[in-house]
Amino acid sequence: MDAAAIISILDATLRLSTPLLLACLAGLYSERAGVFDIGLEGKMLAAAFGAGAVAAVTGSAWLGLLAGIGVSVATALLQGAAAISLKGNQLIAGVAINMLAAGLCTFLGQQWFHQGGRTPALGPNGRFSTIDLPFAHELSGIPILGPIYAELISGHYILVYVAFIMVPVTAYVLYRTRFGLRLRAVGENPKAVDTAGISVNKLRYQAVIITGLLCGLAGAYFSIAQGSGFGNNMTAGKGFIALAALIFAKWKPLPAMFTCLLFGFLDAAQIRLQGARVFDIEVPVQAIQALPYVLTVVLLAGFIGKAVGPKAGGVPYTKER
Amino acid sequence: MSALKPLPRWADVALLPLLNLSLAILVSGLVVLMIGQNPFMAIWAVITGAFGSGYNIGYTLYYATNFVFTGLAVALAAHGGLFNIGGNGQAYVAGLGVILVALALQDTHWLIVAPAALVAAAVFGGAWAFIPGYLQAKRGSHVVITTIMFNFIASALMIYMLNRVLKPAGVSGPESAMIAESGRMPKLGSFFAPFNYTPVNISIFIAMLALVGAYILIWHTKFGYALRVMGQNPTAARYAGISNSRMIIITMTLSGALAGLVAFNEVLGVQNRLVLDFVADAGFVGIAVALMGRNHPFGIGLAALLFGALYQGGNELQYVISGLDRTVVVIIQALVILFTGAMEGLFRPGLQRSFMLFSPEQKAEAVAVSTVKTEN
């Protein structure tokens, strides 16, 4: 494997990690606040559809992005209403959201665009184009660093950069702001937060809205950046890989980035590893596809470290009277 | 708020689910209306599509068979306080057991193949749920996350098995060889003419037995008692000398075995071969069925029939009203899960309040309570 091949596989890793990272950080806010979210997949799918549909109709990627975020936040609020205000089962709420998104996106897509659930292919303005960072072309001549800057770091969609910027931002918000402290507290011991005179439900709603926002970015990435238009079941289980990554990263932002990069790398590598041999035995592609899930199961079982989630996760908060 | 009385039993098991179902259908009806179709015509099309003729009923019962199995799987786990979201994966892997046994015994007689395949379905499905159960019991990993992961691992495993191991020479698609004629289980159509050309088969009797068996297991055995104690209060169960970890493992295995029976119906009863994604999300429908049926076998039987009818009726919908198809049913199903499972708080308090007003004795109590309050 030469340098160009390595750069191209790392380049693909960045592209494939982006939606994982956005969804993973999205889940991080919600789960750190004590709301389990297995509905990341559904919110992403809904956002992908909303973004694809609006971008197709208006021809503007930015309006599409806005619509994607709007749809995703609305879905998150529905889930939040069930899980926070009505004190319903958070897991079941997530299952319902996933199913609702899958059904509605296909149904509305078919009704509105008559292309078997797809949204029309987008024109050049309807989707985001890649951004060349300054001097990328000029610097590409420098050995090693030049190609890395020009090929690997430059030339991605804006959402890729947003995703990676969100990592330090999330870390800062979580560990260095009052909101972050309260957010973490509400996931560990909501009663303490309540006693301090802060509304548990309001904080959880804020967290859920941020989750919706980030899922919106992740979903839009599928339909109006990476792809050009929405396709049936476009997110293809990526929401669950993001959930796996979140657990794998033990609900922390920086490890979340590395885990998403790892899972993205596995995704990028499986195409190249097709037919690869280890000790003369052919490695099945499916084994690599299943690896993120297997790793998560192994980690959860405590065989490599231990993943313990926020203590109050999954329990709706009931104020004592 | 704490003064609210629990609902009378009939309201809890019948009225509340029906209200939630009505709301789900109402919202779906609004979606249908929004795209400019008549929701009443759609409902009529679903009903006739599900029950209009022997042919339609046959299909409805075939779908209902699957949903009984997955509904029971979810319900059994739920009684123990566990959420088995992995029915899809368990049923999928169970297909492997069914096809291996069926292909090995196919030259004998279906009366030999069927019981062996039934056991294989239960064993493979059970094994796929045993691991998450074991990990929850002994290693403390959350069974929900593990079963989700196992759904995806099952999918990867089965794609590999179908493409590399089970695919006979000369077949291009990812599917196994057909089971020989002698090993195929007869369909009900061969005994009962109105069901001709429908996939409903002997599995439906297994489903009925499973319903009765689950009822006895949960409410009339020592195991069932321990199961319910654990589900209500794991700490109390420990004090009562019940081994929670053992219970979790057994419950998950049984739950997976039940989900695995979907493969018996699909692979041996209908397809006669193993195909990609034959489970078709029956595991998730099971969640809706268990919620609708209030985790009781009788309710699950009815709810499975309801969802069987929705699936079959939804299939027919596209031939009656252009533009509508089974995705409408997926929306209804999602809304049922949302309203009955996650938004119970929507109707229950209001219903409790209105019941308190209508029952004289409780009204007197309510008045007494409020008088005490004002006196203080």
- Which pLDDT score, from 0 to 100, does residue B106 have? 86
**Predicted confidence band of residue A76 (pLDDT cuts 50, 70, 90):** very high
Determine whether B181 is exposed, middle or buried from the number of CB atoms within 10 Å of its CB (0-12, 13-18, 19+).
exposed
**Predicted confidence band of residue A277 (pLDDT cuts 50, 70, 90):** low
> Residues B97, B105: contact at Cβ < 8 Å?
no
**CATH number reported for the structural domain that contains residue B265 in this entry:** 1.10.3470
Let me know if residue B285 belongs to a domain. Answer: yes
How far is CA B285 from its chain centroid? 5
Let me know if residue A214 belongs to a domain. Answer: yes
Kindly state the helix (H) or strand (E) to which residue A30 belongs, with its residue range. helix A3-32
How many Å apart are CA A99 and CA B284, to the nearest integer? 9
What does A235-288 look like in DSSP terms, one character per residue? Answer: TTTHHHHHHHHHHHTTT-HHHHHHHHHHHHHHHHHHHHTTT-EETTEEPPHHHH
Mutate to test the interface with B, among A99, A233, A281, A294 (most CBs of B within 10 A): A99
Determine whether A196 is exposed, middle or buried from the number of CB atoms within 10 Å of its CB (0-12, 13-18, 19+).
exposed
Let me know if residue B8 belongs to a domain. Answer: no
Other C-beta atoms closer than 10 Å to the C-beta of B257 total 26
> Residues B341, A96: contact at Cβ < 8 Å?
yes
Mutate to test the interface with B, among A238, A246, A300, A308 (most CBs of B within 10 A): A300
Task: Pick the range with the lowest mean pLDDT from B47-51, B207-211, B354-358.
Answer: B354-358
The total number of structural domains in chain B stands at 1
Let me know if residue B33 belongs to a domain. Answer: no
- Top pLDDT among A116 and B94 is at B94
CB contact under 8 A, B291 and A92: yes
CA distances A114 to A71, A108, A111, B168, Å, are 21, 9, 6, 38
Residues of B with CB below 8 A from A297's CB?
A: 135, 141, 146, 149-150, 153
**Type of residue found at A37:** D
How many Å apart are CA A242 and CA A38, to the nearest integer? 10
The total number of structural domains in chain A stands at 1
Let me know if residue B65 belongs to a domain. Answer: yes
Identify the three-state secondary structure at position B260.
helix
The string of pLDDT tens digits covering residues A112-123 is: 888 877 888 887
Q: Which residues contact A236 (CB under 8 A, 6 or more apart)?
A: none
> Residues A310, A34: contact at Cβ < 8 Å?
yes
What does B219-246 look like in DSSP terms, one character per residue? Answer: HSSHHHHHHHHHHH-HHHHHHTT--HHH
What does B327-375 look like in DSSP terms, one character per residue? Answer: HHHHHHHHHHIIIIII-GGGTHHHHHHHHHHHSHHHHHHHHHHHHHHHH
Average pLDDT over chain B reads 87
- Top pLDDT among B314 and A270 is at B314
Other C-beta atoms closer than 10 Å to the C-beta of B364 total 10
Residue B163 pLDDT greater than 70, yes or no = yes
Q: Which of B252, B19, B26 is nearest to B138 (CA)?
A: B252
**Predicted confidence band of residue B38 (pLDDT cuts 50, 70, 90):** confident
- Which pLDDT score, from 0 to 100, does residue A222 have? 93
What domain range includes position B246?
60-304
**Predicted confidence band of residue A148 (pLDDT cuts 50, 70, 90):** confident
Instruction: Please name the residue that has the structure tokens 């030469």.
Output: A2
- Which pLDDT score, from 0 to 100, does residue B1 have? 44
Across A63-67, average pLDDT: 94
Let me know if residue A319 belongs to a domain. Answer: no
- Top pLDDT among B198 and B369 is at B198
Across B136-145, average pLDDT: 86
The string of pLDDT tens digits covering residues B261-308 is: 999 999 998 988 899 889 888 998 999 899 888 899 999 999 999 999
Q: Does A201 touch chain B (CB under 8 A)?
A: no
Residue A321 pLDDT greater than 70, yes or no = no
Q: Which of A83, A284, A309 shows the shortest C-beta gap to B160?
A: A284
- Top pLDDT among A137 and A311 is at A311
Looking at this predicted complex, what is its ipTM?
A: 0.88
- Which pLDDT score, from 0 to 100, does residue B247 have? 93
Mutate to test the interface with B, among A86, A90, A92 (most CBs of B within 10 A): A92
- Which pLDDT score, from 0 to 100, does residue B300 have? 94
What domain range includes position A103?
3-300
Let me know if residue A312 belongs to a domain. Answer: no
Residue A192 pLDDT greater than 70, yes or no = yes
Q: Which residues contact B156 (CB under 8 A, 6 or more apart)?
A: A286, A287, A289, A290, A293
How far is CA A119 from its chain centroid? 22
- Top pLDDT among A40 and A133 is at A40
Let me know if residue B45 belongs to a domain. Answer: no
- Top pLDDT among A72 and B177 is at A72
Let me know if residue A315 belongs to a domain. Answer: no
Q: Copy the structure tokens of residue A1.
A: 């494997």
CB contact under 8 A, A107 and B335: no
Let me know if residue B356 belongs to a domain. Answer: no
Residue B68 pLDDT greater than 70, yes or no = yes
How many Å apart are CA B172 and CA A196, to the nearest integer? 66
Q: Does B276 touch chain A (CB under 8 A)?
A: no
Instruction: Please name the residue that has the structure tokens 């899930």.
Output: A293
Q: Copy the structure tokens of residue A56.
A: 């197709």
- Which pLDDT score, from 0 to 100, does residue B370 have? 62
Residue A54 pLDDT greater than 50, yes or no = yes
Q: Copy the structure tokens of residue B185.
A: 């289980």
Q: Which of A87, A82, A305, A126 is nearest to A228 (CA)?
A: A126
Across A12-25, average pLDDT: 94
Average pLDDT over chain A reads 87
Residue B2 pLDDT greater than 50, yes or no = no
Let me know if residue A321 belongs to a domain. Answer: no
Exposure b/e, B72-93, CB count within 10 A at least 16 = b: bbbbbbbbbbbbbbbbbbbbbb
Which segments of A151-197 does DSSP mark as H helices, in order?
Answer: 158-176, 178-188, 190-195
Q: Taking CA A12 as the corner, what is the angle to CA A8 and CA A15, rounded to the nearest 5 degrees?
A: 140
Let me know if residue B369 belongs to a domain. Answer: no
CB contact under 8 A, B327 and A110: yes
**Type of residue found at A245:** A
The string of pLDDT tens digits covering residues B231-242 is: 999 899 999 999
Q: Which residue of A has its CA nearest to B332?
A: A100
Let me know if residue A98 belongs to a domain. Answer: yes
- Which pLDDT score, from 0 to 100, does residue B371 have? 62
Residues 17-56 of A with CB under 8 A from B: 38
CB contact under 8 A, A100 and B334: yes
**CATH number reported for the structural domain that contains residue A108 in this entry:** 1.10.3470
Let me know if residue A307 belongs to a domain. Answer: no
Let me know if residue B363 belongs to a domain. Answer: no
Q: Which of A95, A206, A243 is nearest to B343 (CA)?
A: A95
CB contact under 8 A, A302 and B287: no
Instruction: Please name the residue that has the structure tokens 């559904």.
Output: A42
